[in-house]
Copies of this chain bind each other. A is one copy, B any other.
Amino acid sequence: MLISAAPVSIRDSLIDEYHRVRSVSRDICAPLENDDYQVQSIAQTSPPKWHLAHTSWFFETFVLGRFIPKYKPFNPKFDFIFNSYYVTHGEIHPRAARGQLSRPTVEQIYDYRAYIDDQITRLMQSASDKDWPDLAEFIVLGINHEQQHQELLLMDIKHNFHANPLKPAYRENLPRPRGEMRPMSWVLYGEGVYQIGHEGNAFAFDNEAPRHDVFLNGFRLADRLITNAEYLDFINDGGYEDPVLWLSDGWSLIAEQGWKHPLYWQPNDDGWQQFTLGGLRPLNPAEPVCHVSYYEAEAYSRWAGKRLPLESEIEVVLAKKPFKGTFYESGLLHPAPARHGGAQWYGDLWTWTSSPYTPYPGFKPLNGAIGEYNGKFMSNQMVLRGGSCVTASDHIRASYRNFFYPNERWAFTGIRLADDI
């Protein structure tokens, strides 16, 4: 079985869930002008309209095409242009050229979404009890896939708007996080064999399984993310000029790119400004530093005399912590300072780990195109954990493994320190 499927005894609740999640994509795009749907600022991002179509294509291909005999696609050519990485499914349109697709138009893509929603609803209502468990499993996967793209939508929109010299705000009246910087505390865990990986019947992606034993030395983890103020100390101490602090590939990168600060920071006469989904704001020293690459996170940790956590260390801790934090639902779309007396474990920012993204022991890629979902990306990327302020709160869990290349920083990424004991 591809995934740990939810017990889906109650059909109506899944239909509701489908519509609820699908409507979030529309909500995210509501502040956009038609023009904004078209932009692809770098090859790694996609135009918002592409996300809207691709997530629908996913339901069309892996649900409607699978469960409806002789299903007629909305437009057969969409399979070519909205297939993302499913190489086995067919030839694909070059990723970097997505911004060139003015057709289908935004309006046509919303028609496409409506068509898919209608078809999926009918299918869910009419499926036989025999087919239902299998169907439900793929619907759940499609819902989770859509949630991933909702986070990508917000990441990509931020990058697109930042690329514009006019520096427009995605939402003018976005509320700002509050709070002041508080001291860092540490949680300690002793040496021993721990278990990580997904367990139970709730949904999880294939890459979170199988649950397995790991041996960990004693360690401690910071109970909050590194703040802008702390990161400024690193910058002001010459962090970006000292090769000793950097991995070799990172040092080459910052030299080549001329990086001197996190993405979205810019100096002005009074100090630093930061571009957010609410536009340019003065840099708030108490907020967690965000949009740093793995190399920057790793260099910071070395400068601080600490290290980045292993993904297993974070998972062990997360599994014991209350599920609270700044998620998409907060409406902030920006990380908030850790509260006094409160920890900062989930949400706010994805934490870079020092763990390359590799398969768990016993992981096997699955059959068919759906098998490409996660396994094929298991090289050259680093694992991130915990979710962010643009992650849906019902999409994240202790075992969740996100991954990006170590040079990437348009995701909502931050730094959490670890240490040996």
Interface residues of A (CB under 8 A from B): 33-41, 49, 77, 80-81, 85, 87-88, 93, 97, 99-106, 160-161, 163-166, 168, 191, 193, 212-217, 243-244, 246-251, 294-295, 298, 302, 354-356, 358-359, 361-362, 365, 371-372, 376-380, 406, 420
Q: How far is the CB of A351 from chain B (nearest CB, A)?
A: 17
27 A-B pairs within 8 Å (CB atoms) are namely A33-B103, A33-B105, A39-B100, A41-B100, A81-B165, A87-B243, A88-B243, A93-B165, A100-B164, A191-B213, A212-B215, A212-B217, A215-B215, A216-B361, A244-B365, A244-B371, A244-B372, A246-B376, A247-B376, A250-B379, A251-B376, A295-B379, A302-B365, A354-B358, A354-B359, A361-B420, A379-B406
- Given A34-B34, A102-B35, A103-B35: A215 and B243 interface contact (C-beta under 8 Å): no
Q: Which residues of B contact A243 (CB under 8 A)?
A: 87-88
Q: How far is the CB of A58 from chain B (nearest CB, A)?
A: 17
CA–CA, A390 and B104, complex, Å: 26
Q: How far is the CB of A11 from chain B (nearest CB, A)?
A: 34
Q: Which residue of B lies closest to A75 (CB)?
A: B166
CA–CA, A88 and B41, complex, Å: 27
- Taking A35-B49, A356-B356 as given, write out 5 further A-B residue pairs in contact, using a Cβ cutoff of 8 Å, ordered by the A residue number: A33-B103, A36-B102, A39-B99, A247-B376, A298-B379
Partner of A102, one of B33, B85, B249: B33
Q: How far is the CB of A44 from chain B (nearest CB, A)?
A: 13
CA–CA, A248 and B84, complex, Å: 12
Q: Which residue of B lies closest to A377 (CB)?
A: B248
